[in-house]
Amino acid sequence: MNCWKVLGIKRTGDIREIKRAYARKLRDHPPEDDPEGFMLLRECYELALKSAEKQNRRAEKLVKPVDESVQSGEPTQPVDQSAETILPEALSPADTSADTSAVNSIVNKLEELYNDFKRRMDPDEWKQLFNGLGVSELRTAEKPFVDFLNEHYVLPFSVWQYLDTEISLRDNENFHRNFLADEHNDVCTPIPEMFREIQDPGFDISFYAGLRVNAYVAYQFENWNIAEALARQAIELYKDDYLIQIILGAALRATDRERESVIVYQRAFELDPNFGLCQRLLRTYIDLDDYEMALKIFKMLRKLYYKKKKVEQKLSRDTLMEYEKLFLEYKVKKRRITKIRSSWQRTMLGEMRHFRYVTPRGYKRFLYSCLLFLVALFGSITLLAFINGQL
């Protein structure tokens, strides 16, 4: 797999260019509408970043600083290896213990901030934490800070954005939650608004947010058993979460339980009817050979396509025509063509070698009535001619 070809750029060590290419391609592969394309794009993006980092490290090794004594022409002094090495003051035991205590203090502040859900969701709280730290403290606590975020990642995009500007999270090799710091994977920001009207004091929003984010992570990495378990646990607490319904439906469909997934997708569609969900329902009904329901969903999909075509076209015409062709072939086989809608349908019928397609239902009665009228007319004329002949 050529990650550079997928990103649409040449091999480079410029991390900014890689990020720009990823952002451009992400518009064509949103995670909800095209999860497979998104996962491929994400994998290529991470491979490109690793390749760029290796390329930059090689360049740094090749450019070595030249010894000043060599430049000035002075002879270098031999190094006395028997001499005792004097530890600098920064590495003394006293300062090491001081650094450890400083790190522990910062981690305690992080845990205190993270455990308070309202403060955790507010970027200003994180700014106050960083403003209270000196430059040396930030350098000392950078690795523990990244380790903490690898384990505590239920955060909104606004917080991730701020943290990335402060400690360059996306460029850090030790940070393993890069995809959550992406705006398109922001599943945490809507949570406070979702539960604004809930007055139940026993409802733990922080716990539900953890379920939602972890279910989404399992969904992205196709750990279907974990995704299903977390989604069901979340639904027991709150039933009107569109994203959780989608995750559960995808997990059921991936484990060959299409009938159950259709029911879950229908619930999600009641919460938010959209293009991506229409396509999920359509594909699931086709897999189940339930073309009656698939045709109903397809009609809704067609209406959504033509209704929002000028505003925001999320469904390509090629995809729409692919479904049109599939249903046209089904109608021909089941002898259920009601009418030929346009010339491209005739072209498709020719391509599928259905030259003798069924006469449309709407015209059958008309043709039959015409035939009966002609037969009756011919019979009447014959009868009159016979009577006149007898007289």
Return the pLDDT at 278.
79
Q: Is the pLDDT of residue 45 over 70?
A: yes
For the chain, the domains span 1-61, 101-189, 207-324, 325-376
For residue 208, pLDDT beyond 60: yes
Task: Give the C-alpha distances (Å, rounded to integers) separating 183 from 189, 195, 363.
Answer: 10, 21, 55
Cβ 29 vs Cβ 37: under 8 Å: yes
Q: Is the pLDDT of residue 172 over 70?
A: yes
- When mean pLDDT is compared across 88-92, 128-132, 244-248, 325-329, the lowest value belongs to 88-92
pLDDT recorded at residue 233: 92
Q: What is the pLDDT of residues 82-135, one digit of tens each?
A: 333 333 434 444 444 556 777 778 888 888 989 999 999 999 998 888 887 776
Homologous superfamily (CATH) of 207-324 is Tetratricopeptide repeat domain (1.25.40.10)
- Note the pLDDT of residue 216: 93
Task: List the alpha helices (DSSP H) in the chain.
Answer: 3-7, 15-26, 35-62, 68-72, 93-115, 117-120, 123-131, 135-140, 142-151, 157-167, 191-194, 205-220, 224-237, 242-254, 258-271, 275-287, 291-307, 317-333, 343-351, 361-390
Whether the pLDDT of residue 329 is over 70: the answer is: no
pLDDT of residue 51: 81
At residue 243, the pLDDT reads 92
pLDDT value for 241: 92
For the domain 1-61, what is the CATH code? 1.10.287
Q: Please compute the mean of the pLDDT values over residues 223-240 and round it to a whole number.
A: 92
Average pLDDT value for residue range 170-180: 81
49 or 225, which is more confident?
225
